[in-house]
Amino acid sequence: MPKIKVLHKVVADQIAAGEVVERPASVVKELIENSIDAGADQITLEIDGGGVGRIRVLDNGAGFDSDDVELAFLRHATSKITNIEDLNAIRSFGFRGEALASIASVAKVTVHTRVKDAVAGTRVRIEGGELLDKRDAASPVGCDFEVRELFYNVPARLKFLKKESTESSHCIEALVRMALVRPDVSFKVMSNGRKVRELVKVNDDTERVKALFSTEALAMTEGEEFGVKVRAVLGAPEKARAGAASLYTYVNGRYIRDRALLRAVTQAFGHTLESGRYPVGFIALDVPPNAFDVNVHPQKTEVRFANPQSVFRAVSHVVGAMAARSPWAHAVSEKVTSYGSGVRGDANSATHNPSSGNAVREASVDYGRPTQASFPSPPTSGFSGMRPGVFEERTTPANRESDTPGIMAGPLPQSSMVKNHDVFQALPNSIPKEVPDVAAIFASDDEPRGFSALRFVGQARNMFLVMEDEADLVIIDQHAAHERVTYERLRRELAQGRIASQRLLTPHMIDLGPAETERIIEKKDALSRLGLEVEQAGADRIAVYGVPPEISASPERLLAELVLALEEGREGAKGEMEDKAVATLACHSSIRAGRSMKVLEVEALLAQMDKVDFAGHCPHGRPVLARIPFAEIRRRVHRE
């Protein structure tokens, strides 16, 4: 056994940096949090090469004095806490004293800083954790923090980073997470010398959400239960997106990712939210500092609640009360009341419910009129009544009349009003809204064999095909069967180069959340192979020019699900990524449950099932059919 020895400081710092600095976005997060802690209200972020080449954060905060600036780069040196008891009352973003030391150990760092009333500023240069230079220098009040050549001395970390566009979008996302809950701070983002986003100071976080999701219909609610204050600004469930990337969750102003909070949201929306989809917007919780532990992980995006059940109930009840009123679907003022326990009461009552331990909350809702979007709203499938804007509701104590007006600023200009709500503006018959006649697609002259030899008895609930042979009653799931057939056909097309694409008559515009556009454009070539033709049409907008034929899903949903399938499959074996995407396409190109089928269509489908490597399951693993022996049926009805 080798002798035990203490690791060199540089080695130890680089090991520790792996927990704090995962990618360039981690550096952006830490530096912006430090700027906010320093009292800055103007922050500029500059990134080159996706943040690997250069990250620069300029702020007008308090800055460092000459003595502190060098000390700040020592591990566990911090001004945020002094003793263990302070961990129970943390209000700042930073407190561990690890971020600057970690960043400096894996990059080349230069800092210009000056405190107010100081005659001169200070310039410090550090590489690989070693101080190379410190001198007086001209500098405005605040801090100018520049990080170059991230991971230059840890090449193993470099090879795990993604493309420049991906890392750039993660950096912008880190800034957006902070900007959503700090409306009192202005932010500007420059990428490779080009301004990509600017957020001016606004009055409250609702206005900031409006600025970032300018084309969404949004509703606001706030309330308090079990000592947990909940404030939420959320989009309509019909416009929910696959995955939770556009739902931002916060505790005491700190961005976190917590599965229990996401489950509380899905429970609050109930059956109006499809599985795996989440509304856009944000949810901010305010809890006593000693009611949760943020010192769980160096990145501080995970927390533990002292009473997670109370947090879950507070979120699900407050958000659920809003979702039950469906404010996105109305344009009138109404006054409703709801109990803190989540049971909605009579609209004219405002009493106290002793058993729940919570006062009845009265919500004054003014759904108002939509604000002007930054550009005309595109048509959206099925949501013709929605327009961009925020609908506000506030809960107030029952013994105080609430007359808080809505925050809607004014009507949309006539030029941007939606006049045609049909998103399928394609060439004639390019995207049929009814599934095409299966017999026309799967016509076959082959002799009956296999599935084709089954005798068709009838269709149950427009969902199951009831068949029989000499021994069994056979129940076939019509959607799962056609999905398998379609999946095999699409796989053959993809193996030959690409899946066919049908050109839309006019491009369909899709508005995305902050920092999502580059993430999608990075997959442009992969999407094109799958028959979905997309181009960037703005900072937060994608134009869809072509879709695969026979698709029944809207372009928004198809794009979201294909991107999610590509991302979920990227870590798997070769071909798994595209297989997941093809399975998604097959699902949206197949006969739906609930459609009545003609006898010729059934026969054609059975004939096509004989031609594929069937294996009895759809691409998602669900069984296509079930066999019930007639002997078992006779036994059950005592016919033996």
Say how many domains are in the chain.
3
Q: Is residue 431 part of a domain?
A: no
Instruction: Give the 3-state secondary structure of residue 577.
Output: helix
Phi and psi of 589, rounded to 5°? -110, 5
Cα angle 427, 430, 435 (rounded to 5 degrees) comes to: 150
559 in the same domain as 500? yes
Whichever domain contains 486, its CATH number is: 3.30.1370.100
pLDDT of residue 5: 72
580 in the same domain as 542? yes
pLDDT of residue 253: 86
pLDDT of residue 519: 78
Domain boundary among 170, 199, 228: 199
Q: Is residue 637 part of a domain?
A: no
Residues with Cβ within 8 Å of residue 431, at least 6 apart in sequence: 424, 502, 504, 547, 549, 550, 551
Q: Is residue 635 part of a domain?
A: no
Domain boundary among 150, 178, 199: 199
Domain with 43 in it: 9-199
Contact (CB, 8 A) for 41 and 62: no
Q: Determine the Cα–Cα distance for residues 225 and 241; give it in Å rounded to an integer.
A: 28
209 in the same domain as 185? no
Q: Is residue 433 part of a domain?
A: no
Whichever domain contains 257, its CATH number is: 3.30.230.10
Contact (CB, 8 A) for 374 and 420: no
215 in the same domain as 193? no
pLDDT of residue 423: 31
Which residues of the chain register pLDDT less than 50? 330-387, 394-448, 571-574
468 in the same domain as 336? no
Q: Is residue 427 part of a domain?
A: no
358 in the same domain as 223? yes
Q: Is residue 620 part of a domain?
A: yes
Residues with Cβ within 8 Å of residue 83, at least 6 apart in sequence: none
Give me the DSSP letters along 256-278.
Answer: E--HHHHHHHHHHHGGGS-TTEE
pLDDT of residue 615: 55
153 in the same domain as 85? yes
566 in the same domain as 536? yes
pLDDT of residue 575: 57
Q: Is residue 619 part of a domain?
A: yes
194 in the same domain as 295? no
184 in the same domain as 256? no
Beta strands in 297-387 (DSSP E): 304-305, 333-338, 352-353, 358-359, 361-366
pLDDT of residue 300: 61
Q: Is residue 559 part of a domain?
A: yes
240 in the same domain as 194? no
213 in the same domain as 332? yes
Q: Determine the Cα–Cα distance for residues 145 and 64; give it in Å rounded to an integer.
A: 11
Whichever domain contains 153, its CATH number is: 3.30.565.10
Structure tokens at 515: 């920092």
Cα angle 128, 132, 138 (rounded to 5 degrees) comes to: 120
Domain boundary among 364, 384, 416: 416
Q: Determine the Cα–Cα distance for residues 5 and 12; give it in Å rounded to an integer.
A: 12
